[in-house]
Amino acid sequence: MKKTLSVTLGGRAYLIEDNAYQVLDTYLTRLKQHFVNDPSADELMNDIESSIAEKFAERLETQKQEVVTELDVQEVIAVMGQVEEIDQEEAPSSVAQELEEAKDIPVSKRLYRNEDDMVVAGVCSGLAAYFGIEPVFVRALFVLLFFANGIGLLAYLILWVAVPRAETSTQKLEMRGKSANLSEIEGLIKQKAQLVTEEGKAAVGHFKQQHPSAFYRLLNIPVVIVGTIWSFLLRLARFIGPIARILIALPFIVGSALAMVATFITSSALLFQLYSPELITDVPLQEFARSPWYYAGIIGLTVAILVPLIFAMMIGISFLTRKNQFRLATGVVLAGVWMLAATTVGITAIRLGPGIQARMEQVEQEQTVTRRYEPAAFRAISLNGNERITIKRGETFAVQLTGLNDSLERMVMKSEADTLTLRNIGRTRGFCLFCIHRPIEGEITLPTLDALTVAGVSRATLQDFTNDLSLHIQEAGSLNANLLGQHVTATVQDVGRLNLSGTALSLNIETEDASRVTADPLTAERLEIKQADVSSIVLEGSGKELYAALNDVARLEADTFTVGRADIMTNDNTRAHLHVTESLTAITKDSSRLDYRESPAFKKLQSTGSSRIHADPSNE
């Protein structure tokens, strides 16, 4: 039976036999006495203790034992070296000889990030130390790879995360393949102390002495630039760091909390408020609530939603507090609970899914009705809701709508000031769950149509009209229009969509707000276009005259629209493609670009700044 002690060495706690402790304590005491007059004594002793602690940890793990024995201490001291060996290293030649002998000792290298010589994170310097080359060559390689589709940046970030930094003297020596003994540690500390004396002058001299060539300094220019930018970003990050953490954390925390509240309200309504007048549903939930699988499915679905929200909230709290809130046990438990809940939801869907689907189809058939209206005379139409309407020319004024009875009840239709308005209003009360959402479909006939407005995700089809038209598409509305040789003015806004076909005497189109116009095929005598705000127009067909003005990153694709004469101006990073046969007048500005088929007989082209006009003969 042997007496053991608990000691802390290099920040690590160990159990050590009493006789082993006596040997180790005597060794460390002699080292302290040796370095008592050295200005770097404290740093030397800390690094020596850390090195001894790391060697103890390796031996305990290799030999699968829990207590440090006297044999362990003796072998570690043998590797580190005796104090007498340091006393004998008074002459510089002996130090050089000792260093040379240390190089001959086979020591396996380890890859670390070298933050003593870093520009960003010490990755390049660590790789250079590992392979025994100059850091500037590694840095230059990463700069070159950065411009190769960002491969250098991706590789650097991966190494930054995966490779540990060299913190202790032992790790810094292992990085270069040197043995972590007393002489090496002492030499490393003294070298470091020498480099930081006289306010960095020695370090600058050391750098110049090691790297005097102009070639080296030339290669290092990109690294210096990157380092300067990175240093500025680090200082900026320290200033805005707390604000950024709050801005990142709050969406996670607040969003998760609100989603949890909404989940609890919904599940409570489905579990305890099935007969409440405030709960509106198109599915007879009371019928399915007779099965225990209904309650199991609702509870399982609630838990399956809550678990990811809990994880999201923990992420936000971790950002806010700068502490990792995740624990292995907590993560395993939550993952197991989520898998159980997801399995329950899957079984419930198999059990009740076919019945719910069949019942919803039955309810939809029972509630679908068709109504016919005969409004007062009108010459304009405004659609604003969720309708799918076909507008035709007819002898009488008539409206026919097909949809769910509840949707038709909430449809507002009025005819005043020669305008027929259809607008679908939402429910004013109640909590709607499992409601059937089906757009209202219908047909409107009238003798003459002057103007049409499509908005609010409505969809309309226009046909058979020959008189002049004014079209307005906005708020994600969509219109398919077949033209029959009239004059047409169209305004498309707010992500609206307009698809044109047929023929027109003149067509005036104005687009903005990421809207889109397509024409396939279209024949127009005169076409005027004004585009802005990332809108796009795609034309196919033919025409005589085209006048276009593009701004704000707009796009005009008309290389399959053959036109005799074109007059175009592009600004603000816009793009245009044209096919002109007779005359082309073009002005491009502000990084815009115009491509045209090289066939017009007359050309007047002007480009300024970084804009460009390009003839493409391959499209002939």
- List, for residues 520-573, the tens digit of each pLDDT value: 899 999 999 999 999 999 999 999 999 999 999 999 999 999 999 999 999 999
User: What is the pLDDT at residue 465?
Assistant: 95
Mean pLDDT to the nearest integer, 166-182: 61
Task: Please state, in angstroms and rounded to a whole number, the distance separating the CA atoms of residues 588 and 570.
Answer: 5
Choose between 455 and 99: higher pLDDT. Answer: 455
Which is it for strands 602-607 and 593-596: parallel, antiparallel or unpaired? unpaired
Task: Please state, in angstroms and rounded to a whole number, the distance separating the CA atoms of residues 336 and 340.
Answer: 6
Q: What is the mean pLDDT of the chain?
A: 79
Whole-model pTM: value is 0.56
Extract the tokens encoding 264.
């609890």
Least confident piece of the model among 231-235, 309-313, 571-575: 231-235
CA 362 to chain centre: 43
Is the Cβ–Cβ distance between 442 and 390 less than 8 Å? yes
Contacts of 206 (CB under 8 A, 6+ apart): 194, 195
**Side-chain-side CA neighbours of residue 191 (13 Å):** 12
Is the Cβ–Cβ distance between 469 and 500 less than 8 Å? no
**Residue 217 pLDDT level (bands cut at 50, 70, 90):** low
CA 387 to chain centre: 35
User: What is the pLDDT at residue 212?
Assistant: 47
The H-or-E segment that residue 257 falls in is helix 221-272
Is the Cβ–Cβ distance between 170 and 54 less than 8 Å? yes
Q: What are phi and psi of 550, to 5 degrees?
A: -115, 135
In this predicted structure, the answer to whether residue 10 has a pLDDT above a threshold of 50 is yes
User: What is the pLDDT at residue 18?
Assistant: 73
Q: What is the pLDDT of residues 343-389, one digit of tens each?
A: 999 999 898 888 878 877 887 787 889 999 999 999 999 999 889 99
Which residues face 575 on adjacent strands?
555, 593
Could you give the 3-state DSSP secondary structure of residue 473? strand
SS3 of 300-344: the string is: HHHHHHHHHHHHHHHHHHHHHHCCCCCCHHHHHHHHHHHHHHHHH
Mean pLDDT to the nearest integer, 237-243: 68
